[in-house]
Copies of this chain bind each other. A is one copy, B any other.
Amino acid sequence: MAANKQEDILKAALKMFALRGYDGTTIPMIAEEANVGAGTIYRYFENKQTLVNSLFQNSVRMFSDTLRSDFPETGDMRQKFAHIFRRMGEFSEQYTETLLFIDATAGSYYLDDQSNENFHEFLSFIERQLELGKKEGQIRNMPSKAMISIVYGAFVQLFKVKRNGLLEATPEIMQAVEESCWDAIRMH
């Protein structure tokens, strides 16, 4: 039951931040959700801003590690895309709040330099893959940032809709969306 309080706090903060945003979430809300006293949060995090930044960096690391592990470096672009897309899907299925928290938080005024750097480092991993695919003629000649936007934006929106209970993310649908997204960027 007791287990790790830092973990409990991070989990509660994630949930609340994903639900109500940083400024709409109070420390007492997090404390209550985590079943700890409000003061306890300050034994683990210097202040509210440190807490979001910790959480953001954790989240980005998890997401990044998920996409990068077992990455088929030697595969062709379609395989790489499949790897990334499916990993994103599995991750988002299991950690929907984490995905939405990352999305809602990236670029916010309360993130520190480290957080921004980590996030951009992650994006640039994706960007490098797309650049490779362009060179190999497998995907379109469009700015990588635009292509990322299309795939990432589409993907995240799907899970927002899912969170709101308007859509199930069944394997069939995920399969169809993967094809859609691939069609959106592959060379025709």
Contact = CB atoms under 8 A, between A and B. Distances in A.
A125 to B, nearest CB: 16
A142 B172 CA distance: 9
Contact of A153 (B22, B108, B155, B185): B155
A23 B22 CA distance: 8
B109 A19 contact: yes
Interface string A14-49: 000001111110000000000000000000000000
Interface stretch (A55-63, A78-86, A159-167): A159-167
A173 interface: yes
Interface of A: 19-24, 107-110, 140, 142-143, 145-158, 160-161, 164, 166-167, 173, 176-177, 180-181, 183-185, 188
Given A22-B23, A140-B176, A150-B154, 12 more contacts: A20-B23, A22-B24, A142-B180, A145-B166, A145-B167, A146-B161, A146-B167, A146-B176, A146-B177, A149-B157, A149-B158, A153-B155
